Amino acid sequence: MTAVLKLGVAGLSRALAAREISSVELTQGLLAGIDAHSDLGAFLCTDADHALAEARAADAAIAAGSAGPLTGVPIAHKDIFVTDHARSGLPSTAGSKMLAGYASPFDATVVARLGAGEAGPAGRGPGAGMVTLGKLNCDEFAMGSSNENSAFGPVLNPWDRQRVPGGSSGGSAAAVAARLVPAATGTDTGGSIRQPASFTGITGIKPTYGVCSRYGMIAFASSLDQAGPMARSAEDCAMLLSAMSGFDARDATSAERPPQDYAALMRKARAGASAAKPLQGLRVGLPKEFFPAALAADVNGAVRAALAELEKLGATLVDVSLPRTELSIPVYYIIAPAEASSNLGRFDGVKFGHRAAQYADLMEMYKKSRAEGFGPEVKRRIMIGTYVLSHGYYDAYYLQAQKLRRMIADDFQACFSAGAQGCDLIAGPVAPTVAWKLGEQGDDPLQAYLADIFTLPASLAGLPGMSVPAGLGAHGMPVGLQLIGNYFDEGTLLHTAHALQQATDFHLRTPQGY
């Protein structure tokens, strides 16, 4: 049974269908592992009674022959997604004291579509039947690159417990990497799926903005936030994304597209390709800006080795340029805080959230509640955002940042639409270094911001991107290969990642002790 517990989503789906294990046994085993490794800090809460009730229902569906491919497979959710407290018993906190103990009256669309109940108006009828084990730790309101900003303590990287797992979806990444759960949901605003996936040696994909509904996702930066799956392999992510995605009328930014079978798109052979050369005809662009002299040698070596594997599989590597890559950092750190300042204005201690115990009047209640409820990084971004939106600075900062954002998106389109000189996807490193040590950047937040330089451009453009394990770098820490595709071309990303994972074992490596 121990070996089965370590399987990914696709493997567990097959094991459940073959009755090699029951969902109840699987759920019990994983809950025991979560308890045994609670000091990792990945899980904020679990509800065994609720999870086992869902598992029993899943076993009944499998016995009746009415199960889908994800029925009975356990999952955990980043605590940026709200969960119906009356149904699940799980609070929704966004990693913040401001929402400590908050009991949501409904499920986020992503949670409903993956879960065991009815997805209802969220889309396509009943959910996929996955078993929810609990909620995962994250940087407060998804603001951070290390998962050290949670009000409930940091998450440790299972590869080296002295290092960060990345953020803001660090709890999700650490839980999957440590084999505590086969898959988890994450959110990516500026790289918060891809960077922690890279730092912990798992696979994660941020789909095109609008593919997954943001309804029920506690907002950080509304024009950037996007949900996505984090799992062991591209095959696992494709199965999850098929269930998560699709139009939702309750989300004004949801793309009006029919549901996609990403697992089928992942396996779709390229025209002219063979079994030995599944990537024949694929043109992979390498932006010179993604390989600067300052890129760590170990990261460069691992990424170059993974690119060489893509060549062996038939892909052609071509040089391209994204000239405004460096501008993505100031652009993002103007737009994202500005939107955060607006979104977090609702947390004032009046209707829900933390309220100060003592105050003299309404204004003091606002001030003290927000001062006590928000952590340092959230306060920093609210202050920056309020400043750039203020009278006299809006045109100078925010408006200029939006203009540059459009130009960054145009740079990508120049690469994708350049005909014979262009490319089908773009590849490079996820981060300039491997995971850093806990507390190493605590006194210099700018260094953490700079670590997002390779993930921010795709986020600003709204493009799909993913991190695929590419081997190990310094100190035995994982390195991820970043793949970026054109709008709604997740199939090419998943197909490329799957081909690489069929030819290598990078994604199968497990941290010692897990």
* Residues annotated catalytic, as ranges: 78, 168, 192
- CA-wise closest residue to 422 among 326, 305, 286: 286
What is the DSSP secondary structure assignment for residue 144, as one 8-state letter? -
Contacts of residue 510, defined as CB under 8 A and 6 or more positions apart, other chains included, come to: 6, 177, 179
The CB-side HSE value for 470 (13 A sphere, CA atoms) comes to 32
Dihedral in degrees, nearest 10, Cα atoms 504, 510, 511, 514: 180
223: three-class secondary structure by DSSP: coil
Cα–Cα distance, 141 to 400 (Å, whole number): 26
Phi/psi at 311 (5° precision): -65, -40
CB 174 within 8 A of CB 156: yes
273: three-class secondary structure by DSSP: coil
Contacts of residue 174, defined as CB under 8 A and 6 or more positions apart, other chains included, come to: 40, 41, 42, 147, 155, 156, 157, 158, 165, 196, 200
148: three-class secondary structure by DSSP: coil
CA quadruple 414, 416, 417, 422: dihedral positive or negative? positive
- CA-wise closest residue to 202 among 493, 478, 459, 497: 478
β-bridge pairing 131-136 and 43-46: antiparallel
Q: Is 63 exposed, middle or buried (0-12, 13-18, 19+ CB in 10 A)?
A: exposed
Q: What is the layout of strands, in order, in the sheet containing 226-231?
A: 43-46, 131-136, 74-78, 183-188, 226-231, 203-206, 465-472, 478-485, 425-429, 283-287, 316-320
142: left (phi over 0), alpha (psi -120 to 50) or beta: left
Token pair of 228, please?
């996505």
Cα–Cα distance, 451 to 442 (Å, whole number): 14
CB 145 within 8 A of CB 451: yes
Continuous segment of H or E residues that includes residue 157: none
Cα–Cα distance, 150 to 137 (Å, whole number): 7
Name the one residue in this structure whose structure tokens are 């440590």. Answer: 178
Cα–Cα distance, 499 to 184 (Å, whole number): 22
- Give the Cα-Cα-Cα angle 336, 413, 209 (nearest 5 degrees): 40
